[in-house]
Amino acid sequence: MHHLDSEIDRNQISMVALEELVSENSYARLVDVFVETLPLEKLGFTHCQHEKEGRPPYHPKVLLKLYMYGYRHGLRSSQKLHQACLVNVELWWLLKGLKPSPRTILYFRKNNAQAFKNAFQHFVLMLKEWKLIEGETLAIDSFKIRAQNSLKNNFNQKKIDRHLDYIDGKIDHYQQQLEQAEGEEDKAQLTTKIAHQKTKRVAYQSIEKQLKASGQSQISLVDPDARGVILHRNVVNVGYNIQAGCDAKHKLFTNAQTGNVNDTHALADMAIEAKDLLQVDTLKTLTDKGYTTGAEIARCTQNNITTYSSPKEHSSKKNGLYPMQNFTYSKKGDTYTCPAGAVMHTNDSVYQKGNHRVKHYKTKACKTCAVRHLCTINKNGRFIERGVHQEELERNAQRVTNNPDYYRLRQQVTEHQFGTLKRQWGFTYTLLRGKENVLSEVYLNFSVYNLIRAFRILGPKVLMAKLKELSLCFSCQYEAFIAILSDFHYHVLIHCFSFKTYFRARTSHLWLYCRN
């Protein structure tokens, strides 16, 4: 017996083509074909055309291939990607031996934020053409990632006040010591300490000014768009709340947004964006109770979007008094009937309560009510607040109650993608600053995810064939499209319904450029 040993002699020159080193179904081959398919210049990537003078730039397809390959394998920083270019055989093949510097790699991502979004949307429309995205049911959910801003550099008014109080206490303490100090050296030391605390005070006052000028409840000094978000149960960190829309058919991503620290006001914007992108007349959405807001559901209804959002429990339920379910609403008279049988009326005034607009309902019968102790502790009697969008909320709750199996799809459609992105690819933090740049990283991740899903669903051969076919098809269609626009005056024809319908059906992925 002997150990297994290699037959390769390190000192022997061997004739090997890079082509032989990359397996037939390698992800690198898929990325290669996919990026070649994209109309990079139309999508807005820089340096598609080079200058006549100066050092020639890398073509954007080289760097886009590098990013799409790297993100799949958890290589996200420019240093790691550059290092991979030096040692990874598949990248030698993919980039034909090119080795862009870390700085070039870094600036490509930074300067092409909008182009990454366009590329992702272009791919979504391709997936819709291939019938992998249906555009019937959209599940929306969110996940949090950490920003390039520490908690130390994030302030709200409460935190600033706490720091200022601490500094004032320190200054008082040093001044008392100064009054009692006798030696010149001690006095000099204490004077320096007081001066240091006063400098810190000025710095915090400047931050307070910035916070007031911004009109926001918090301010981040390193990445101004980042916000304090709850990452886990009680763990707060500075980051971004990423909204993701997923089509129910094959669980593919359709769109993304960020900006709010929670989901309360995200539903309508996400659903309308997806509906416009997918060019569908109606859409159904599945969301958890974090998204259930009357105003958002009403906006969805106005835009032909049917919501299935988990209903929230009424806040009065657990205080031991009569819950809201014991009060019956009558739409006809716009009144409530209480458990004692009294009719509660409204004066039709609408009050602002936080982010909600509500009407109040009261009755004079409370004064002499025998069961008042079971109903209210308010000395003026019970009054009920009803949101102006309460009917929408009730209709939404009814839909969820009547279709429990359909609603249960939500978890299956959205949750597992987040696990893949965060646990397998390490997307728990962003490397970039600013909302637009952070979203470009999100779109890049989502594009890679969709590409791999399409690879799994269709198989390598079918997907490669479709991409190659589309590449040819796209160049022909685009030329024809541009020719038609110039010949028949686009601005007149764009309002013609039949024209829009025809081209949406035939060239839906090109519609992206018309909208942009």
The residue ranges that bind ligand SF4 (CB under 6 A) are: 338-340, 342, 363, 365-366, 369, 371-372, 375-376, 381-382
- Residue 20 burial (10 A CB sphere; 0-12, 13-18, 19+): exposed
Closest distance between ligand SF4 and the C-beta of residue 391, in Å? 22
Closest distance between ligand SF4 and the C-beta of residue 374, in Å? 7
Cα–Cα distance between 446 and 119 in angstroms, integer?
11
Closest distance between ligand SF4 and the C-beta of residue 356, in Å? 22
Closest distance between ligand SF4 and the C-beta of residue 126, in Å? 59
Cα–Cα distance between 195 and 200 in angstroms, integer?
9
Structure tokens at 199: 């400098």
Check: CB of residue 270 under 8 Å from CB of residue 140: yes
Q: Which is nearer to ligand SF4, 383 or 490 (CB)?
A: 383
Closest distance between ligand SF4 and the C-beta of residue 133, in Å? 51
- Residue 221 burial (10 A CB sphere; 0-12, 13-18, 19+): middle
Closest distance between ligand SF4 and the C-beta of residue 382, in Å? 4
Check: CB of residue 445 under 8 Å from CB of residue 72: no
Helix axis angle for 60-72 and 102-111, nearest 10°, is 90
Q: Which is nearer to ligand SF4, 322 or 513 (CB)?
A: 322
Q: Which is nearer to ligand SF4, 205 or 330 (CB)?
A: 330
Q: Which is nearer to ligand SF4, 96 or 314 (CB)?
A: 314
CA dihedral over 362, 368, 374, 376, signed as positive or negative: positive
Helix axis angle for 60-72 and 435-458, nearest 10°, is 70
Closest to 304 in 3D by CA, of 322, 321, 279: 279
Q: Which is nearer to ligand SF4, 149 or 363 (CB)?
A: 363
Q: In what order do the strands lie in the sheet with 356-361?
A: 351-353, 356-361, 384-387
Helix (H, G, I), strand (E, B) or coil at 222: coil
Structure tokens at 39: 């109309």
Structure tokens at 117: 């979004």
Closest distance between ligand SF4 and the C-beta of residue 76, in Å? 59
Closest distance between ligand SF4 and the C-beta of residue 311, in Å? 24
Q: Which is nearer to ligand SF4, 232 or 373 (CB)?
A: 373
Closest distance between ligand SF4 and the C-beta of residue 260, in Å? 37
Q: In what order do the strands lie in the sheet with 328-330?
A: 328-330, 335-337, 343-344
Cα–Cα distance between 39 and 210 in angstroms, integer?
43
Q: Which is nearer to ligand SF4, 43 or 369 (CB)?
A: 369
Closest distance between ligand SF4 and the C-beta of residue 343, in Å? 9
Check: CB of residue 45 under 8 Å from CB of residue 107: no
Closest distance between ligand SF4 and the C-beta of residue 294, in Å? 23
Q: Which is nearer to ligand SF4, 13 or 370 (CB)?
A: 370
Check: CB of residue 370 under 8 Å from CB of residue 401: no
Number of helical (H) and strand (E) elements in the chain, helices listed first:
20, 14
Q: Which is nearer to ligand SF4, 308 or 336 (CB)?
A: 336
φ/ψ region of 131 (left if φ > 0, alpha if ψ in -120 to 50, else beta) reads left
How many residues in the chain?
Answer: 516
First vs last C-alpha separation in the chain: 69
Closest distance between ligand SF4 and the C-beta of residue 378, in Å? 9
Helix (H, G, I), strand (E, B) or coil at 243: strand
Closest distance between ligand SF4 and the C-beta of residue 384, in Å? 8
Q: Which is nearer to ligand SF4, 371 or 496 (CB)?
A: 371
Q: Which is nearer to ligand SF4, 245 or 381 (CB)?
A: 381
Q: Which is nearer to ligand SF4, 318 or 367 (CB)?
A: 367
- Residue 141 burial (10 A CB sphere; 0-12, 13-18, 19+): buried
SS3 per residue for 112-162: CHHHHHHHHHHHHHHHHHCCCCCCCEEEEEEEEEECCCCHHHEEEHHHHHH
Q: Which is nearer to ligand SF4, 315 or 352 (CB)?
A: 315
> Which backbone phi and psi does 434 adopt, to 5 degrees?
95, 140
